[in-house]
Amino acid sequence: MRTEISEDLYEKACTLMPGGVNSPVRAFRSVGRIPFFVKSAKGDRLMDEDGNEWIDYVCSWGPGILGHAYPEVVQKVREAVLDGLTFGTPTRKEVELAEMICGCMPSMEKIRLVNSGTEAVMSAVRAARGYTGRSRIVKFRGCYHGHSDGLLVKAGSGLLTGGVPDSDGIPASYTAHTLVAPYNDTQRVAEIFREYGQEIACLIVEPVAANMGVVLPEKGFLEFLREITERYGAVLIFDEVITGFRLGLGGAQEYYHIRPDMTTLGKIAGGGMPLAAYGGRREIMDCIAPLGNVYQAGTLSGNPIATTAGIATLSVLMDQPEIYTQIEEKAEKLADAYRSHAGLWVNQIGSLLSVFFTDRTVRDYSSAVFSNVDAYAAYFEYMLENGIYVAPSQFEAMFVSSAHTREDIELTLQCIRGLDMQKIYKW
């Protein structure tokens, strides 16, 4: 594998950007190597500056459900660009995309388009606080909801491997209203509500956690969250930035038949462009300016190129709903191959999966962090040497797309079967 050009770029990048990157996990630090620099991508393949090519199971951390450079999406974006890049005015496409999203997720009676998942969550929490007139929020240990101040408490994703439990630069007063419970622990949630119930504005949860690796909600967990938030008049927010349009057109809320009060979306909703959304019950959304006093705004919100990519991507998924069964089947095959090895725990749902380097059940943050991250790093290196790119961290998800070909899935299966666990674990 040639790495000279990526090495040079990385050296220069490190003089210009913190850690040489624009988002921490991309620096590959938790797998103990330097990152490759991608030049282009097509279908299920990534090509780097040195001419290496990988089968990609990161898919830009989720948006790439159709693979890279999907022809219809690219064509629509090309056409849209000629009409102008940004107007800062309402457009027809915003209305079209809003209608599509609300049609897929009926719990979103009204929606606001923003630019990133972080912005969507931050705004949803503000709306919930404005609506209820309460301050406290409940989140789960290991669930990641973007990097806004109040939510960087026991968060997942890069924070699990970055060596800092939470973030510097956040005054304690900003997180004083954030209460944290272990994922899947209904008893602890009940205790929190018994103590603070009348002060809780909202409870936010990834209905399938995917930022401490993939962790599934246990039977009754989401139902319990629905019931207790309703009982105490708190807003239930489903963070579906990853699961939205990934587990199906209706996301995790359709999959588990739970109607949250609010939902946050990103990734697939923008078809690979910076677009995210939050929405929910009409009376909550009507608290947002200019109708109400909860302020939230953005110059590039509802950007015409991003809405075009979103519309094009969702149109493909709506026209070909069989994609969901196909990508789930591929993910199941991969999961089965991993499960044939001792010393691994696999969580999989739809086209999302994670392989944890532990033989214990992974059901929450404490069990996830029990994984052997050195073994994960050895596995990552082995996959890379075999032309396969998986997440450069134990605590992220593996994403399967409609572009993963039968041949590439077969190559991946062979590679998984060939894993030498003695070597990986240095047994």
Decide: 148 and 116 in contact? Cβ < 8 Å: no
Minimum separation from the CB atom of position 158 to ligand HOZ (A): 7
DSSP-assigned letters across all residues of 166-233: S-TT--HHHHTTEEEEETT-HHHHHHHHHHHGGGEEEEEE-SSB-SSS-BPPPTTHHHHHHHHHHHHT
Of 6-14, 23-31, 92-100, 299-307, the window that binds ligand HOZ (rule: CB under 6 A) is 23-31
**Of the two residues 211 and 308, which places its CB atom closer to ligand HOZ in the complex?**
211
Q: Does 157 bind ligand HOZ (CB under 6 A)?
A: yes
Cα distance between residue 160 and residue 61, in whole Å = 16
Which residues from 59-98 bind ligand HOZ, rule CB under 6 A?
61
Exactly one of 76, 139, 267, 330 is catalytic; which is it? Answer: 267
Binding string to ligand HOZ for residues 211 to 250, with x set by CB under 6 A, is what?
x---------------------------------------
Query: For residue 54, what are the contacts with CB-CB under 8 A and spacing of at least 6?
Result: 45, 46, 48, 384, 387, 388, 389
Of the candidates 424, 245, 239, the one whose C-alpha atom is nearest the C-alpha of residue 344 is 424
- Residue 239 designated active-site: yes
Q: If you count them, how many residues does the chain have? A: 427
- Judged by CB under 6 A, the number of residues near ligand HOZ is 7
Cα distance between residue 323 and residue 200, in whole Å = 39
Exactly one of 44, 48, 56, 239 is catalytic; which is it? Answer: 239
**Of the two residues 63 and 279, which places its CB atom closer to ligand HOZ in the complex?**
63
Cα distance between residue 267 and residue 241, in whole Å = 6
- Residue 42 designated active-site: no
Minimum separation from the CB atom of position 63 to ligand HOZ (A): 10
DSSP-assigned letters across all residues of 285-346: HTTBTTTSSB----TTTT-HHHHHHHHHHHHHHHH-THHHHHHHHHHHHHHHHHHTSTT-EE
Q: Give me the sign of the Cα torsion angle 339, 344, 348, 351.
A: negative
**Of the two residues 211 and 402, which places its CB atom closer to ligand HOZ in the complex?**
211
Of the candidates 341, 408, 326, the one whose C-alpha atom is nearest the C-alpha of residue 54 is 408
**Of the two residues 23 and 366, which places its CB atom closer to ligand HOZ in the complex?**
23
Exactly one of 70, 131, 144, 183 is catalytic; which is it? Answer: 144
**Of the two residues 23 and 414, which places its CB atom closer to ligand HOZ in the complex?**
23
- Residue 144 designated active-site: yes
Minimum separation from the CB atom of position 211 to ligand HOZ (A): 5
Of the candidates 69, 128, 177, the one whose C-alpha atom is nearest the C-alpha of residue 403 is 69
**Of the two residues 241 and 424, which places its CB atom closer to ligand HOZ in the complex?**
241
| Choice from 3, 5, 14, 26 touching ligand HOZ (CB under 6 A) | 26
Residue nearest to ligand HOZ (CB): 23
Minimum separation from the CB atom of position 396 to ligand HOZ (A): 6
- Backbone φ and ψ of 30, nearest 5°: -75, -10
User: Which residues participate in catalysis according to the annotation?
Assistant: 144, 239, 267
**Contact residues for ligand HOZ (CB under 6 A)?**
23, 25-26, 61, 157, 211, 396
